[in-house]
Chain A
Amino acid sequence: MSVPIQPLAVSAYTVTSALGQGLDSHLAALSSGHGGLRENDFSSAPLACWIGRVDGVEEAELPAAHASWECRNNRLAWLGLQQDRFLEQALDARLRYGAARVALVLGTSTASIGATEEGYRHLDADGRMPAELRRPLIHAPHSLAGFVAEALGLEGPCLTVSTACSSSAKVFATAERLIRLGLADAAIVGGVDTLCDSVLFGFNALELVSPEPCRPFDQARHGISIGEAAGFALLERVDHAPHAPRLLGYGESSDAHHMSTPHPEGVGAELALRDALARAGLRAEQVDYINLHGTASLKNDEVEAALIARAFPSTTRASSTKGFTGHTLGAAGILEAVFALLAIRHNVVPGNLGCTDPDAACGPQLALQSEQRSVNVALSNSFGFGGNNACLAFGRAPA
């Protein structure tokens, strides 16, 4: 069993998704109950489904100095960095600690594969990548972190975590270890995933895409709606930001079961949950809110609902926010970590948009509508293909 960690301050955070750019638009959506899904207007060939697309990505041109990193995924990263004064606070951390003492750990599942797909649609006469896209750095998983490191001028440890839909949750664990061992004084974590044909047609081939807006935990759910998002957080030791919310713990595990379906009893998910509670030094009854993975796939929701029902008292509230944003895949970890942080900051439990008749496996914890109530401790679940599980625990700073 893991031992408790020293909490870290989450001294800045931001997110951009189909709900809009920055935190305010996300909070407003939770209050109004209006989601951000739209009919698919993105894929290069028609595909009848709903998507969580971010407006304004196409216009978020990269500064000329970073033009070699141009692609839609990095534009979303750049757009996301500029919300909620995050860029300013990241540069301030670099100034305070030194460029080599700030780690950068970002999650993504597909990075800029959209640019590679585009290249294949427009190969030159010799069947090679067209000249404009003959930029090796964007055709690799590290494209996102490589761009952000350059844009922020960071020179510390820098890596991409790519474990499908748990990617940008696991970044918190890597960053905590780097800070704990003294290899960095602060870390910028986060993740960006953009819509692309690979995931739209890939999940469609697996028959996991819903023809209607996704309905997490509803009896009549028909699968996922794919979305895109960018989110970032700044982690540092608590004495540097004593009033900031805290990363209390995290848990990581593997299902050891199947590449694309979860363990039927949720064994891996429960291991990650127990690991997170142990590191945070928390008991289940101290958890006020859980942002669920809740993809609206038949299997995930059934397994996760049963886990929450058996592991938590009815005083713990739980919901999936994927009805608002779609499943943002490699960015889901950071997006939903930010929902957990918003829940704490504003004492609001997000409603589980899209669910009217909960699955029989759901316990009394599921919050169908947004609720105003005290939230001091919030968890976020993220589970990925390959049976890769992560759970994050956040808490309010002590008064």
Chain B
Amino acid sequence: MSALQVHIEGIGLWSPALSDFAALKAQQHGLPVDAPTARPQASTLPANERRRAPDSVLLAVEVAGQAVAMSGRAASELPCVFTSAYGDQLISDYMCATLASAPAELSPTRFHNSVHNAPAGYWTIATGCQASSSAISAGRASFGAGLLEAATLSLAEQRAVLLVCSDIAGTGPVGEMSGTRSSFGFALVLSPAVTAGTLASLAIELQPHADHPLRPAPATGEWHETNPIAASAWPLMQNLAAGHGDCTLAAAETLALRVVLETLA
């Protein structure tokens, strides 16, 4: 099986310390960066939707909007894949707590915002996108599985695809189970062919039975260890900031993706 070749045309990124991909690059070069506002702005959403949208949606829409803007493509034309290990943990905590105490008082809005595809729903509504949209999850391999799903969609359909990977910080008993202590989002616009907008190219190869390299390294206290998407995407983010490099990402329990990143001269 030959490697999957996809080409990156846009990158979005948000963490409590980094407002976008430019901030990551600056930080990697040892330059000072300003922290973003406390909540992602998600300016793609109309103002009334932004007020109503839950945190998981704001985060996903923020990074999706950054990546699509960088690509110069129309969001309405991009099939999209949203991936998240835990979905909206604030809503999960609210719902489970309410169901335990006063189930009949459950908020209908929070219920329909609790679906794992809420970010995909808000995004496609805000951008008028009628192409396919998906919402997936794969535990701590959610980033790699999302990259594989988006790359296969792009190549099978020969269309540019938006990939959005995000998890918000958890809270309450369910937050303790997820161990997610910070919010992080990362988005890529992937194209099946090199275009004038190509920023970098990825060659992705499946490496099965890869039990050992997929075990998390011992904790070092780095910020990205507090979020499953950040932890798993960190090697690729560093390569993107550097413009080259290869890394191994988890796509399933024992399935690795070897991802070689090159920037065309």
Contacts and interface: CB of A to CB of B under 8 A. Distances in A.
Judge: A and B partners, yes or no: yes
A337 B4 CA distance: 31
Contact of B125 (A135, A160, A206, A387): A387
B33 interface: no
Contact of A174 (B104, B142, B149, B206): B149
Contacts of A223: none
B118 interface: yes
Nearest to B253: A149
Most buried by B among A44, A109, A181: A181
B70 interface: no
How many residues of A sit at the interface, in one of the four size bands? 35 or more
B145 A159 contact: yes
Contacts of B173: 119-120, 123, 127-129
Interface stretch (A255-263, A314-322, A341-349, A352-360): A255-263
Contacts of B226: none
B51 to A, nearest CB: 15
Most buried by A among B100, B178, B252: B252
A206 B253 contact: no
A93 interface: no
A386 interface: yes
A183 B112 contact: no
B120 A177 contact: no
A377 to B, nearest CB: 22
Interface stretch (B15-23, B127-135, B183-191, B237-245): B127-135
A162 B135 contact: yes
Nearest to B125: A256
Given A198-B95, A206-B111, A158 B135 contact: no
Contacts of B127: 256
Contacts of A128: 173, 176
Contacts of A151: none
B177 A202 contact: no
Given A142-B85, A181-B156, A384-B117, A156 B253 contact: no
Nearest to A272: B132
Most buried by A among B4, B142, B179, B255: B255
A367 interface: no
Given A386-B115, A386-B117, A44 B103 contact: yes
B116 A155 contact: no
B137 interface: yes
B178 A260 contact: no
A45 B124 CA distance: 36
Interface string A225-260: 000000000000000000000000000111111111
How many residues of B sit at the interface, in one of the four size bands? 35 or more
Interface string B164-206: 0000000001101111000000000000000000000000001
Contacts of A136: 177-179
Classify the interface of chain A: helix, strand, loop or mixed.
mixed
B263 interface: no
B47 interface: no
B79 to A, nearest CB: 8
Interface in A117-162: 117, 119-121, 123, 127-129, 134-137, 139-142, 145-146, 149-150, 155-162
A42 interface: no
Nearest to A139: B177
Contacts of B206: 100, 157, 183
Nearest to A127: B173
A163 B103 contact: no
Nearest to B87: A141
Contacts of B41: none
A182 interface: yes
Contact of B111 (A161, A202, A384): A202
Interface string B83-102: 01111000010011101100
Nearest to A144: B137
B124 A387 contact: yes
B133 A156 contact: no
B12 to A, nearest CB: 20
Contact of B116 (A134, A159, A163, A254): A163
B117 A155 contact: no
Given A205-B111, A386-B118, 8 more contacts: A128-B176, A129-B176, A137-B139, A157-B251, A160-B136, A183-B4, A384-B115, A386-B115
Interface of B: 1, 4, 76, 79, 84-87, 92, 95-97, 99-100, 103-104, 106-108, 111-118, 120-122, 124-125, 127-139, 141-142, 145, 148-149, 152-153, 155-157, 173-174, 176-179, 206, 208-209, 251-255
